[in-house]
Amino acid sequence: MIDIQNLSIQFTGENLFENVNLKISRHDKIALVGSNGAGKSTFLKLLYGLEQPESGSIKKQKGIRIGYLPQEIIGFKGNRLFEEVKSSLQNIATLEEREKIVIEALNDINLSEDERAELIDELGEIHQRKEELDFYSANSKIEKVLIGLGFSEKDFFRYTDEFSGGWQMRIQMAKILLSENDLILMDEPTNHLDIDSLEWLIDYLQNTSSAIIVVSHDRHFVTSVTTKTLEVYNRQINFYSGNYSQYLLFKEEREKQLISLQKQQEKKIKELEKFIERFRYKATKAKQVQSRIKQLEKIEVVEIMEEEKKIELHFPEPSMSGIIPVELVNISHSYNDINVLKDINL
């Protein structure tokens, strides 16, 4: 579906990726992982077409449909929620718009019989096409997705600009999920979801036929929805067959091997440097010294990427409190003329 060949890209003069080669197939469920600043978001933008590589190519199957949910929240204005989400179903939205125009035209009392007959025929064709596109179940699908993402039925008729940033993200997510994309790219999709919406999204992504690539710090989420892992590491993107939890086991084993290899290499380098320093000025050892220098120059230093520092919080044990630490009796409170609390007893 997507074939990436010899891809390289820079950011502020530094190489993010160097000669990356990989393939993304239909129905792949992929977790994209790596340290902060490694280039995960940039890679998603490359796949979507928002960024261009310095060199190499990204070959996409002809006609491929890609949906992209960025971290940055997109604001929607002007439409009611249900209509905004329905607009993602482009064929249906186009038919509905044309249907409105035809119905409005039929109300013109100055139409000739031939013009009226032609419009009626077109209206019939529109209704037939709507049935072919499963129009009536489409409304049901929209309702299911919106409710799954935490919207109420009352919200369907609210204007989109009434919703806060986190809900704007859910609107964008609903449009992407309903657009029948071949590939869905999601950058931190769980940031603004509550537990119920998160579990619904997990179930949806597990059952969708679309390929997905997700970036998320939510371990439960990525482990639940992915079966493969792409790791951005040391300017490369490495492919692993297995979900995020399986990848972590591999990563732990790899770190052990790299540390062992690094120690062996450091020992070898010290031995070579010691020999060179000891016999550098001894004519009878000149050839051997030059040989050691060449060996030293050919060594590719083992790099171990630094782990991200984890914040550890330690809270002191609380002092003993009374049996009832806090008691509220007939508490009331208001903002201006609006009562928000009244006669609270707790």
Q: What is the CATH number of the domain that holds 30?
A: 3.40.50.300
Q: Largest alpha-carbon pair distance within the chain?
A: 112
In this structure, the answer to whether residues 157 and 83 fall within a common structural domain is yes
In this structure, the answer to whether residues 66 and 190 fall within a common structural domain is yes
Give the contacts of 324 (CB within 8 A, at least 6 positions apart).
none
Boundary residue ending a domain (162, 196, 224) = 162
Quick one: DSSP state of residue 154? G
122 domain-assigned? yes
Give the contacts of 304 (CB within 8 A, at least 6 positions apart).
255, 258, 259, 262
- C-alpha distances in angstroms, 230 versus 77, 192, 236, 303? 36, 24, 10, 19
pLDDT of residue 228: 94
282 domain-assigned? yes
Identify the residue whose tokens are 């049996």.
323
In this structure, the answer to whether residues 116 and 265 fall within a common structural domain is no
In this structure, the answer to whether residues 126 and 85 fall within a common structural domain is yes
In this structure, the answer to whether residues 62 and 91 fall within a common structural domain is no
Domain total in the chain? 3
Residue 228, beta-bridge partner list: 30, 241
309 domain-assigned? no
In this structure, the answer to whether residues 210 and 137 fall within a common structural domain is no
Which H/E stretch holds residue 129?
Answer: helix 113-132
Question: 225 exposed, middle or buried (CB, 10 Å; 0-12, 13-18, 19+)?
Answer: buried
Structural domain harbouring 157:
77-162
In this structure, the answer to whether residues 265 and 289 fall within a common structural domain is yes
In this structure, the answer to whether residues 155 and 26 fall within a common structural domain is no
331 domain-assigned? no
Neighbours of 115 (CB within 10 A): 13
pLDDT of residue 256: 85
In this structure, the answer to whether residues 88 and 234 fall within a common structural domain is no
Q: Are 182 and 210 in contact (CB under 8 A)?
A: yes
Give the contacts of 183 (CB within 8 A, at least 6 positions apart).
1, 2, 24, 47, 64, 65, 66, 67, 210, 211, 212, 213
Provide φ and ψ at 332, rounded to 5°.
-135, 150
334 domain-assigned? no
Residuewise pLDDT in 10s, the chain (346 residues): 899 999 998 887 788 888 899 999 989 999 999 888 888 999 999 999 998 988 999 999 888 889 999 998 888 888 899 999 988 876 666 667 778 888 888 888 888 888 888 888 888 887 776 665 566 678 888 999 999 999 999 999 999 999 988 999 999 999 999 887 899 999 999 999 999 999 999 999 999 989 999 999 999 999 999 999 999 988 889 888 888 888 888 888 878 888 888 888 888 888 888 888 888 888 888 888 888 888 888 888 777 766 656 667 788 887 777 778 888 899 998 877 777 788 899 8
310 domain-assigned? no
pTM over 0.85: no
172 domain-assigned? no
In this structure, the answer to whether residues 8 and 142 fall within a common structural domain is no
Q: Are 13 and 230 in contact (CB under 8 A)?
A: no
E runs forming strands in 112-189: 183-187
pLDDT of residue 132: 57
pLDDT of residue 306: 62
113 domain-assigned? yes
In this structure, the answer to whether residues 212 and 261 fall within a common structural domain is no
